[in-house]
Structure 1
Amino acid sequence: MPGTPEEQPAPVVRPEVWETYGPADLSAVPVFAGGFINFGYWQAVDLERPLSQGDRIRSEQDLYRHVLDAVAPAGGRAVEIGCGLGRGCALALEEYGPTQMTGVDIHPQQLGRAREANSRLLDARPQRLRFVLGAAESLPLGDAEFDCLYSVEAAQHFPDLPAFAREAARVLRPGGRVAVASFFSVEGVEGVSAPAERLAGMLDSFASGLDIARPVSRLGEALTDAGFADVRTASIGPQVWPGWDRWLARLWEPGTWPRNFHAAWEQRILDYYLVTAVRP
């Protein structure tokens, strides 16, 4: 069992992650409205009409709701890995009723922003919400401390999925649930080869190393090897990519690199997944 957060050494942050979520502050980029940093789950949004900022924020909230529905945090202790500004933690606390909500992020500047953005909640519910500095692969949390663990669009940055899976198993109690939503390369498609190289050629975030191209099976295998049961993987690409591309079209022309997320999905080299499992 690791020591308290104060006893833990500061986590090592990859340079690409440090810049993007620190000085560059991705949460301030207009496409990430409302303080969330995710591509969105657009099932409830009418994509045939012009999109509003309210539509965009709903898509980001609905991605969290889709993940939270899978881990059912009501009445238990929940932890989000890669919490960013903590908007998802606040949504979970307000709508799903965990007894305690912990947000973990590797970037100290993000945690500072999270504490500022959620200052009212922290003041009103100091025993129910906290933010902790830590890496997904070495969590400064106690053994069997949580009933559910989730991560929304952060796993594409985790350098060591097996270490993350082992830590998730350690901090969850028996019967605890884990859910991870993120984008991964697609494997086993006839006529499609070298997806990692192709993604690096299409998308700057993969070329720079910010996003790491791996098949989703790597996460499933890591969870299984860590002792999880009932590991399930579901594509939610149809609910993510078309809406994300429609939103990007407000700011980016076709053929520019951000629009290539949708192109990579259409070419079957990238998809968005929800991976769930149970700790026996």
Structure 2
Amino acid sequence: MTDEAAQWACLTMRPTVEEAYGPADMSGEPIFAGGFINFGYWQAIDLSRSLSEADRVRSQEDLYRHVLDAAGLSPDTEMLEVGCGLGMGCAVALREYGPAAVTGMDIHPEQLQRARRAQAVLLHADPARLSFVRGAAERMPFEDGQFDVVISVEAAQHFPDLVAFASETARVLRPGGRAVVTSFFTVDDAAGRPDELARLLESYANGLDIARPVRALADAFTAAGLTDVRIESIGVYVWPGWDLWISRSREPRTWLRNFLRAYEQQVLDYFVVTAGWPNCRLTL
């Protein structure tokens, strides 16, 4: 086996992930309008009126804006997005924050093909500032200290190994670099949380999403050497808006609407986890 073949052989996907982001193409679902695949951040959207597709797209863009604001992008920043999907968040970063370069990484080759098609104009206009690379969250194909910022938006719920992801994130960050991850996690590690979620939500029952406490990611960042690790709950700005949006096409008690139910029962929440290297990074 060649070195390149061995590298690709290591990038194995769980079957549910391979199906959801391959043949099933979640990005084509009307509930994920605009090509983004996230539940949205609805703080700036009036939920007392009927929601439009423009509101939905804004909610998805605003989730990225919340993450990118926390990351502190600047004109000289080189950024990596882990689990980039169609590269819509990469495009928001380039268009609105003006970093030096953005790399989108995804494990799924079909997603990368879609990303290159979706972002063809940006890739053609300035290929030095945008690129898409295949890689796994637990095995990133980059040099040590290659990036100033690593973000991941609503992908960590799929990662099989949060410890390996945190270790790789720490490795590819430069001194002073910052990591910002947003996704949904259990609120604690109480016994039975995975079973509770499997009863409520099909994506946990079939293994697409993995039930883990948010503290597991924070602790993994700390164990990897990153500092100033913080957890922010943003569920109040995610779940009610998401549920109102999908109520247009989903009846109560259907599984997608149980995300709000799991939040209200204090089983699941949506979090932003931040961490970083100090400006002077010691190597042991």
Normalising by the residue count of structure 1, what TM-score does the alignment of the two structures yield? 0.96
Q: Summarize the alignment of residues 160-239 of structure 1 with structure 2, pairs less than 5 Å apart.
A: 160-187=161-188, 194-239=192-237
Q: In structure 2, do the counterparts of structure 1 residues 5 and 41 end up closer, same or farther at CA, with 3 Å as the change threshold?
A: farther
2: CA distance, partners of 1:250 / 1:78: 36
Matches within 5 A, 1:1-280: 8-10=7-9, 11-74=11-74, 75-187=76-188, 194-280=192-278
Identity %: 60
Q: CA deviation at 1:224?
A: 0.1
CA contact (8 A) 1:157 1:210 kept: yes
1:107-148: per-residue Cα shift (whole Å, max 9, x none)? 000000000000010000110000000000000011100000
Structure 1: 5+ residue runs without aligned partners?
none
What is the deviation of 1:79?
A: 0.4
Q: Deviation digits for residues 213-253 of structure 1, max 9, x if unmatched?
A: 00000000000000000000010000000000000101100
CA RMSD after TM alignment: 1.3
Q: Supply the distance in 1 between the matched residues of 2:240 and 2:35 (Cα, whole angstroms).
A: 21
CA drift of 1:8 comes to: 3.0
**Cα deviation code 1:86-112 (max 9, x no counterpart):** 000000011111101000000000000
Between the aligned partners of 2:22 and 2:143, the Cα distance in structure 1 is 27
Q: What is the CA distance between 1:187 and its match in structure 2? A: 1.4
2: CA distance, partners of 1:20 / 1:87 = 18
Q: Secondary structure at 2:177's aligned position in 1?
A: strand
Secondary structure of the residue aligned to 1:34 is helix
In structure 2, how many angstroms separate the alpha carbons of the residues matched to 1:231 and 1:84? 26
Does the Cα contact within 8 Å between 1:186 and 1:195 map onto a contact in 2? no
Determine the C-alpha separation between the residues in 2 that align with 1:9 and 1:202. Answer: 35
Letter matched to residue 178 of structure 2 = R
User: The residue matched to 1:32 in structure 2 has which SS?
Assistant: helix
Secondary structure (helix, strand or coil) at the match of 1:261 reads helix
Superposed displacement of residue 9, structure 1: 2.4
Displacement after TM superposition at 1:17 (Å)? 0.2
Moved over 6 A (4+): 4-7
Instruction: Indicate if the aligned counterparts of 1:5 and 1:132 stay in contact, CA closer than 8 A.
Output: no
AA paired with 2:161?
A: D
SS of 1:182's equivalent?
strand
1:7-29 deviation line (CA, Å, top 9, x unaligned): 83241111000000000000000
Provide the C-alpha distance between the structure 1 equivalents of 2:277 and 2:242, rounded to a whole number of angstroms: 33
- Structure 1 residues 162 and 193 mapped into 2: Cα distance closer, same or farther (>3 Å)? closer
